[in-house]
Structure 1
């Protein structure tokens, strides 16, 4: 990536070095400078994630097969992946490493092949049959077990050694069955260097672009300002690629800083980066506004699969493609507006374009660009009113130039993104990561609250309290697990003890405008919801414990 950022091809097709700049302002003019910088840049890189997926396979041999031929065929079928095997007549059991995800395979096996979608298993078995056939042995493979973590992988290896006689390694060496536990541990440690799997995300490649004629140095300064603001402590490089008409600055930035902070690029993060970029560009005299597909009411983009199916259907009448795929490709290529977005959120979209026009006027932009921004906002509002069966109205006069108020928070356009952010908190593995995700959720809640009418605020606040209660429960459990892992006691996990103490303090401006009986009823409803959430949490914990005991029994069987 660094070579791509720092080299370009000239008119004769020869590669040449271009100067790139680091986060400290140092210039890297050639490959030697880049290698010196790369040594520091990669200090925060993390090793590959370990792939601890294993499967147990039973082969039924057809015809006479010698032990030597069997060993060669199994090595050809499993390639470089480690395995052990045991033969009993024409039946061969193999326990080995796999590149497939073992978790879904285990679920299929637990549900029964007849009641599950077993395409993944069918694919593995067909591949093993074919590989054995190429080695000169006819055999039918059947996957009988799958495990997806290190502890269970070692346990199943131990069970395999205990259950079979004359277990052999891939090289044909016999495995002693006198002490299965020690033998399994020793074999697994020998296998460990071969278990490296998926690469971690250690660096990101970013692109800051602007239209032709824009000052490249100003864009470079804006890009640097964005990286310093959005990725403090992360090393990065910047380079201007001048071979195209439009201006574009390439950047490579560490995914993980020296302090252990990781960058995230969910949809909300990407839009925040675009808004920061537009703001920094305006500070350097460039009229720029951050917009999304939603703001343009444009149709959904299509994927490579959609484009390939569409193109094939155009040239081959025998190839059938769905009407939805055809509409998706054609709508995007012809730049059609999304009528659903216009009907549901036309007022908010129009307000965004009016805000864009305001930014352009403040930056001194005049002429067709400003006229177009104003016209788009007005046209979108007119289409929205006409499609929705309402009388057209001026969004600025009705909403004061700000975002349009949504009648219900459940139909808010940001509800989908908020739901995704709330779901992401369940994936947090440490208290620090949980706090960061909670901060994003509360930021999204703050933004949503500002666009709701006063009549909707009480319901929204109750919903917000419930969301925060569940997130604080999750945070308390993570803190308890961290303390337990550090040698703490075995007490029950606390419930929301960390609330308002472990999180960064934030101003809480929520005030319900109610008094007397209404206020008392509201408090009772909130308390009932909290009690119900606690009861559901206890039931979920009990169900998890029962499920875990059931799984342990199943693994033992």
Structure 2
């Protein structure tokens, strides 16, 4: 089993994690240091060695992300409200968050920090409230109105901005546009030099702009069943870390207080070269595959599986367990039938019948692979017989459910077990769609290439589970996906070059693919017809034309932006 248990955001948390990994309690309950090994194979025997390693380990840590989300709110006063009552009410509404405000008669304008994301708020304001189903603005305004209700004030959010540069610019604009601007403590803000005043105020605020913390280190667990050679698991874990996270520092330690073997590791999330690790579902499965492969290389019969490979019921959360327990002891507490079934199915280890019917062929293929690994490792007896029987029986369940004749365990199309008839019904299609959607959020060419690598890795995994008859359709789908991703990559490269002072047109998609992406091992050799080649040529030409058009549109937007900074206001 491989798991990501937790993460560390700063040096203090990393030190606490290192202390947990490197210390165990003896029979008397006293803490004692155990062996820790670094990525270079060095043992950290003394406290001084550990402090030295921790200092080097945290050099690549990034500071926490600043929350630079600001909103502008207009408050309408009902009746006579004194300045003292207004100041008290505003401080109660914003809490510890910094803000400035200006009063004009019965109207009060406030520019302040918010814990909400300003991007979605700005989109709602730009599209108009009538065209949005989002309730985020309504919730914020209701909270302000409730907090300031004693002063007879109604709140309306008028604008939102979400990055530091714009936050400082619109603070300056707020000071210039309003008379008698005051800070949260009631101190007046000078309007003679708005630029200097805004810069000074923002620097005072900076220490209060706390945001979410980065994941700078990961706590990983490699485990195996009782009786497994601990040194072999340690070697397999080290091999996985060296292969999947090259250039990232790590430490390993064997916790021997339990029957099963488990190796704990602390791993840098960002290497010295700036490469950052991610652990999406596809990444976790790739790590499990690598762990099983390295374990087999060290003589351990291990196969990477997922929940649906065993057709096990979905796991339940702490919230499900708490609701279930309260409902058992208090009849007045209501809990849904789905939550009850989810807890009971998992505790009683029931199989998910719908999962078996939908993915029986895939599950059977995994069990057949498991049986093959067991035979290669010399495992015999009841365990091998059970694995082979499960694989054979699971193939028959979907056919019997549909009233068909049970299918053989080998596909006639490709000679492989457990193949899926269509890539559209593949169980990994949902995750693939999520990965493809994530590429639209990439902000730099490096990030885009990393996301593209994950997409192609998922496509490779899917391709091996499809029969030969389905391969042509799948390859067309794959080419379309890669064409769109490379078009996005070319656009990001053009924007980066332009931001660095360069010029020229956006690189065509095909040129971007050949120049910027590492070569992929591609064993496909499709025999394209003349018609297919002509369509490919037309698609490339369309992409070139589209890239040029996007470049012209970007230039036009930049010219408009330079003419009026007001257009930058996110409304």
> What is the TM-score normalised by the length of structure 1?
0.87
| d(CA) in 2 for partners of 1:517, 1:10 | 74
User: How many residues are paired up?
Assistant: 555
Deviation at 1:525, TM superposition (A): 9.3
1:256-299 per-residue CA deviation (whole Å, 9 max, x = no partner) reads: 11111111211111111111111222222222111111211223
CA change 1:65–1:400 in 2 (3 A) is closer
| d(CA) in 1 for partners of 2:143, 2:228 | 55
Q: Which shows bigger deviation, 436-445 or 116-125?
A: 116-125
The answer on 1:46 being equivalent to 2:62 is yes
5+ unaligned residues in a row in structure 2: which ranges? 1-16
CA change 1:189–1:529 in 2 (3 A) is closer
Q: Which shows bigger deviation, 315-324 or 243-252?
A: 315-324
CA contact (8 A) 2:506 2:547 kept: no
CA contact (8 A) 1:154 1:185 kept: yes
Q: Select which of 64, 67, 83 maps to 1:67.
A: 83
Deviation at 1:463, TM superposition (A): 1.8
| d(CA) in 1 for partners of 2:559, 2:221 | 48
Deviation at 1:311, TM superposition (A): 3.5
Aligned to 1:346: 360
Deviation at 1:167, TM superposition (A): 0.5
CA change 1:540–1:308 in 2 (3 A) is farther
1:308-332 per-residue CA deviation (whole Å, 9 max, x = no partner) reads: 3333444444444444333333333
CA contact (8 A) 2:491 2:506 kept: no
Deviation at 1:157, TM superposition (A): 1.6
5+ unaligned residues in a row in structure 1: which ranges? none
Aligned to 2:318: 304
CA change 1:233–1:210 in 2 (3 A) is same
| d(CA) in 2 for partners of 1:354, 1:120 | 51
CA change 1:186–1:397 in 2 (3 A) is closer
The answer on 1:114 being equivalent to 2:112 is no
1:120-162 per-residue CA deviation (whole Å, 9 max, x = no partner) reads: 4455455546655899999xx4433322222332233223212
CA contact (8 A) 2:323 2:335 kept: yes
The two structures, once aligned, show a CA RMSD in angstroms of 3.8
CA contact (8 A) 1:19 1:30 kept: no
1:502-538 per-residue CA deviation (whole Å, 9 max, x = no partner) reads: 2222354434446577887898899899999999999
CA change 1:148–1:548 in 2 (3 A) is farther
Q: Select which of 186, 191, 194 maps to 2:205.
A: 191
Q: Which shows bigger deviation, 286-295 or 384-393?
A: 384-393
Deviation at 1:544, TM superposition (A): 13
Q: State the SS of the aligned residue for 2:378.
A: coil
Q: Which shows bigger deviation, 534-543 or 116-125?
A: 534-543
Question: Which one scores higher on RCO, CA 8 angstroms, separation ≥ 6?
Answer: 2
CA contact (8 A) 1:354 1:401 kept: no
CA contact (8 A) 2:491 2:547 kept: no
1:410-446 per-residue CA deviation (whole Å, 9 max, x = no partner) reads: 2233322322222222222222232232233233333
Q: State the SS of the aligned residue for 1:426.
A: helix
CA change 1:122–1:421 in 2 (3 A) is closer
CA change 1:219–1:189 in 2 (3 A) is same
Q: Which shows bigger deviation, 238-247 or 6-15?
A: 6-15
Q: Select which of 305, 308, 317 maps to 2:331.
A: 317
1:197-235 per-residue CA deviation (whole Å, 9 max, x = no partner) reads: 111111111001111222222211211111111111110
Deviation at 1:3, TM superposition (A): 1.8
CA change 1:111–1:525 in 2 (3 A) is closer
